[in-house]
Chains A and B, each alone.
Chain A
Amino acid sequence: MIRLHKLNVLVLIMAMVATLFSVAAAQATPKAGGILRVAITGDPPGLDSTVTTSAITAEINNHITEMLYAFDGDGIVRPMLAAALPDISADGLTYTIRLRAGVMFHDGSLLDSGDVKASLERWHRLSYGKTVLKNLVAIDTPDALTVVIRLSAPVGILTSALGFDNYASGIYTSEQLAGAGDDPIAVPIGTGPYRLKEWIRGQSVVLERFSEYSARSEEPSGDAGRKNAWLDEIHFISVPDAATRQAGLESGEYDVNYRAAGEDYEYIESSSKMWPWMPPVGYNYTLLLNFNSPLIQNLKLRQAIQATLDMDAIALGAFGNEALYDLNPGVLPPGFGGMYTDAGKALYDQRNPELGRKLLEESGYDGTPIRWITTRDFSYQYAGTLIAVDQLEKIGLKSEVIVRDWATTVETRSKPDAWEIFVGNQISGPEPEMIAIINPGWVNAYNGSPEFADLMAELRVTADPAKRAELWAQAQEAYYEDVGSVRVSDTFLLVAYSAKVHVQARYIAFQAWNTWLE
């Protein structure tokens, strides 16, 4: 059974309400105009989401560029720049994609197949495309609005990968791609509802409405469907300090606090000046294990950790409010796409220190301290680490907590012999191939038991949804049995809005289209 947590139920209800009474939403007739001031956590590393996995970059870039496909609010892939879902040949080796006609870029040129070919080839060369399009033969452009991708072996998730905004396959004009080469694009020119007006480094990214935007006709849902650019401008203002972001929202300096603290959830919810929103897909909060360490290579020791931990205590301490996390065993989130499974749930969140102590004894553990690397730059990493360490010390596991700044922690994490456990948010997504920690290539990927590795290899070349779901359920079971990582929970971002801001369609990644100001 899929366990929907209350947010997903909320989303469902809202979606139903929206469909049934969409026009009858009496109190709120959208109105054009105004500037939305969004307090973000810091200056983005760039605006080109093809070459970075930074969430801020992706969320700003989503306003400027579009991909061939996009996910709707339920995690179903829908066409965006493509006219429809691709025609896939029976052998799964040829994808024919028709583009919408008359789509205009911010520079006034029209989208054609040459732009798509150049964008996808760059994505293949520099980004997530390298993994997904490993078996690429060629990208052809038989006419101005048709793109054909030819493969030498089938790919499980090509269509959804072309709509995934982490290491995104955004479509740019072929001219600017030729100019940028392998460097990040400094000033992205896309087809999105907003275009870049100004970027003052370290201060703000200013977007303005693109009046020539060609919207789709479908109802808005998630990243898909119609995009109404009600706002004249969107200002993404860099405000690194969390307390300042929230104070600025309350004093009216900002209209949106893009990352609010969980402890403020009830206050925001009860205030008439603000309202909270949590996108239904967040992150996979997990204890990442370093399999290069002899300690971690000991299965019994891993099982001892898995058996002992109380995930509710860890998640509550880390995120501050029950609304911000969901305890479920799924490595993929429930209610988003069709791949969620609770396979292996018997091994999830066991809260059994007695069993843990027994397993630890069987492991032959000699008292060598487990090295946890963490940073105070992200309070949830630090908090989860302290709580997990505390619980494990009670079964006799010794620990050393190494607290450094984020850049140091990232570097330490890439050293095979420098650490054992790292507690953090890992990216979540609708397909297993999108989860970095279980796919080869990522710095600390779990390469798995032979059983798990075989299942994943088969999954990567399987496109049939039913077959995929079956394979993934087996893989997740194997993952839990081998303790590939110790999953804590799904966690959600908390966005706090000023009461004068209205959002028409509930979204997954932060978006300010379909958003209007009173």
Chain B
Amino acid sequence: MELIQEIIIFGTIKGCVYALIATGFTLIFAVAGILNLAHGTFYMLGAYFTYTLFYVLGIPLPPAILLAAVLVGALGMLLDRVFLKPMRSSHTYVLVLTVAVAFAAQEIILLTYGSQGMNIPNLIEGSVNLNGVVVSWHQLLIVAITAVVLIMLWLVLTRTRYGVATLAVSMDEDGARLVGIETEKVFNLSMFASAFLAAVAGALISPIMSMTPEMWNMPLMKAFVVVVVGGIGSLTGSIMAAFFLGWLETFTGFVISPKLTEVVSLVLLTVFLVFRPSGILGRRLH
């Protein structure tokens, strides 16, 4: 019984982080057709920026995370405007340019902060005993923050003008343009939201996992798995797939062997790509 509880609790926490990473990744793919290989870089920058704002500038942690995420969001917009806008229609260009940017960012971080692992403190110290399973308050806070952020994203997408415009563009770009939606603005704001979400995930995970200049690889791979399993372009599918992956990985780690957790995502990825490329749900943003 305790094992099942543990798997559910820790799998959910993992799933939350994956959901934050993958919704942004899906959003920009559905809206602008951009498979952003620098998405993990936003996650990494979220962590390092928070570190600097907190330790160097002495800003308290909660506003530091928020500010870091906004800064990373702005960098996302910059990446979109300067590098991607001229050749957004070429998948080849977008893929290679974003992966090159990711490597360059890794080198910049390495030079600035060095290669040793670093952490930021928990948002709240201490832990709580949930029916026999010991969980830190910070981990529970990750779940709460993820819930709040995803609900806010949903509200923005369904209740605001830009949100509705974003959904429209993701369904039919030309049609949206015909009814007077400024697609460039939509792309740009989606990039902001995408980078913002990844940065929040990076900042939240850093008290638990050390940050290193290579930390961008993991979230990128998870984002692939989640969007492929959830159906490329489906936000609900991505969120479902994120939790599915979180639970499956935790189950594998606890029950079979911790060595196999990384392989789980790869197997899921290949199986879905080969046998069910449209994912659990369809291909639309819904």
- Pair from one complex: no
